[in-house]
Amino acid sequence: MRKRCISGILLAALLLSLCGCTSVFDKEYLSVRPYEEPSNLLTDTDTTQIRNYAGLMRALNTMAAQYERSFVLAFGDYDGIIADDLAAACEELRTGTAIGAYCIQSVTYETEQVIAYCEANITITYNRPESDVRSIYSAQTQKSILDCVVDALDRQKTQFAIQISTSTLESSDVVALVRSACLNQPQLVVDFPAIDVTVYSGGSSQKIFGITLRYGAGESVVNDHRTQLDGRVRTLTSTLTADAQETPVQAALVVMRACEQRTTAVRTAYDALVTGQADSCGLAMAYKAVCDALNIPCQVVSGRFQGAERCWNVVQVGGNYYHLDLSMQSETLWLRSDESMQSSYQWDAESCPACTAQSFIWREGQKLQLPDT
């Protein structure tokens, strides 16, 4: 059993060193599934030994990521002083890595000479449960971060973590990304959460962002509200034709009539379509929910209007994208270009499709005629 532990651990370290990674958390993940153990299965015949400090750090990171509490490392033909490097590496793992800052309380070791090589018995004490560590998401791009958040929303997680290698993102950036994900999942987010983000880096370029979502409603209430919203959307879209060119503007009228009362405090599609009151974010989420049901490309944009926080939509009409702020509309819809919006609105233009087509106004009962682009 002991031999299996030694050999398995050491080959994992060697495999990581051959792929040029600086630690297990440097590995680039495009998947947004929760963290999974490496699939490199090891056999009892593997006899790889650690030979330098880099290999030692890789082995320690691997074991920490797998939530190993006690394991053995073997050193052979080692380049350096094993005792000194063990002390330094264990301290670096605890205080100088993202995984250490996130979940490691202490790292201790004992060494033993075994014929031609040296063994170190390592013990890691964690300050988080194993489920927290094994469910860390891995992401490399803002798009994959959004996908991780959507998965967490779908699973109704209130606490989760996302690991990003060599990230320049700060906690405020991640808060904005989580908020964007919530805004664009109106069927899931029927109670808009307060968002807290904590950064764990240990001074390294890698970061783990611990995310907490605080909801005002319990899980059973959320599920009930999701069901009610789904039924309401089905009812509202039942009279609309999904593939008609006029459908996006007709859907906008449906949403505005369903939400007759404007407020500054209520902000989800559930509030807009079921209770009939919402702010600009609730209206935008409601329109997104209806467009999703009709397979109309649509996105909620979070920005500012004349310096105040505002949400609106970017929606595809006739093959072109337009800005549409339902909180500023009545029976007449003004679908606007980026250029038209820039005088009074501010937003992250890279986060949504470009709206380059000419602005136009549509009134109920009028045949939709798109301007020349």
Domain 136-214 has CATH 3.30.110: yes
Is residue 355 within 8 A of residue 338, CB to CB? The reply is yes
Four-CA torsion 80, 86, 89, 90, nearest 10 degrees: 180
- Condensed to tens digits (0 to 9), the pLDDT of residues 320-331 reads 999 999 998 777
Q: Tell me the pLDDT of the chain (373 aa) as tens digits.
A: 444 334 443 433 333 333 333 333 333 333 344 444 333 333 333 345 899 999 999 999 999 999 999 999 999 889 999 999 999 999 999 999 999 999 999 999 999 887 778 999 999 999 999 999 999 999 989 899 999 999 999 999 999 999 998 678 899 999 999 999 999 999 999 999 999 999 999 887 889 999 999 998 888 999 999 999 999 999 999 988 766 788 999 999 999 999 988 777 768 999 999 999 999 999 999 999 999 999 999 999 999 999 899 999 999 998 999 999 999 877 789 999 999 999 999 999 999 999 999 999 988 877 777 776 5
Q: How far apart are CA 12 and CA 57, in angstroms?
A: 12
Locate the domains of the chain by residue range.
2-129, 136-214, 225-363
- State residue 367's pLDDT score: 77
Using one digit for the tens of pLDDT, what is the confidence trace for 272-322? 999 999 999 999 999 999 999 999 999 999 999 998 999 999 999 989 999
* pTM as predicted: 0.80
100, 127 Cβ separation under 8 angstroms: no
pLDDT at 204: 78
Tell me how far apart the alpha carbons of residues 166 and 103 are, in angstroms, rounded to a whole number: 19
Q: Beta-carbon neighbour count of residue 183 at 10 Å?
A: 23
**At residue 229, what is the residue type?**
L
The pair of three-digit structure tokens given for residue 208, joined into one six-digit string: 């783990």
* CATH of region 225-363: 3.10.620.30
Give yes or no on whether 136-214 and 225-363 have one common fold.
no
Helix (H, G, I), strand (E, B) or coil at 120: strand
Q: What is the model's pLDDT at position 48?
A: 59
The 10 Å Cβ neighbour count of residue 293 is: 18
